[in-house]
Structure 1
Amino acid sequence: MSIKTAHAPQTIFVPAKTIPVKAILPWAIFGGLICLIALYFITTEQGALSLFSGTTIHEFVHDGRHLLGFPCH
């Protein structure tokens, strides 16, 4: 009586393709700029440092400001 053994399937290793830094850099700068603009509006756009008059932007980001722990009152 012979014992049959199961063989594991062979794994094929495919080398990962690298993305050149020149292709990523413009998108990284754009994403960083968008993040900085969003951070400004959520944290600073009110009171003496406001660039826009009125309370429209303040009311739009009000809940996000409190969620992130920034006081506004």
Structure 2
Amino acid sequence: MASSIATPLSPATGEAPAPIPVRAVLPWAAFFGILMLVLIYFVGAEQGATSLISGENVHEWVHDGRHLLGFPCH
């Protein structure tokens, strides 16, 4: 049975586009991974004994996000 998977062709040249190398994507994936870890920390753990920033400002900014993601905060 023949394969029926079609490759998208460029309208200008009629050739398939070149694949994106992993080496080009890796720095962006690492950047966004670190950014996500920092955001999860601030939403999930930035209060009480593990607080890096004093005061309640960070808690108030991410309060609704905490409840939306299921983190207790009261």
- TM-score if structure 1 supplies the norm length? 0.79
Alpha-carbon distance between aligned partners in 1 of 2:58 and 2:67, rounded to the nearest angstrom? 14
Work out whether 1:55 is the aligned partner of 2:56: yes
Q: 1:53 to 1:22 in 2, by over 3 A?
A: same
Deviation digits for residues 2-51 of structure 1 (CA, Å, limit 9, x no counterpart) = xxxxxxxxx98523421011100000000001100000000000000010
Which ranges in structure 1 are unaligned for 5 or more consecutive residues?
1-10
RMSD between superposed Cα atoms in Å: 1.8
Which ranges in structure 2 are unaligned for 5 or more consecutive residues?
1-5, 10-15
Greater RCO (CA < 8 Å, at least 6 residues apart) = 1
Alpha-carbon distance between aligned partners in 2 of 1:13 and 1:38, rounded to the nearest angstrom? 37
Specify the structure having the higher radius of gyration (Cα).
1
Q: 1:26 to 1:55 in 2, by over 3 A?
A: same
- TM-score if structure 2 supplies the norm length? 0.78
Q: In the comparison of the two structures, how many residue pairs are matched?
A: 63
Percent identity over the alignment is 57
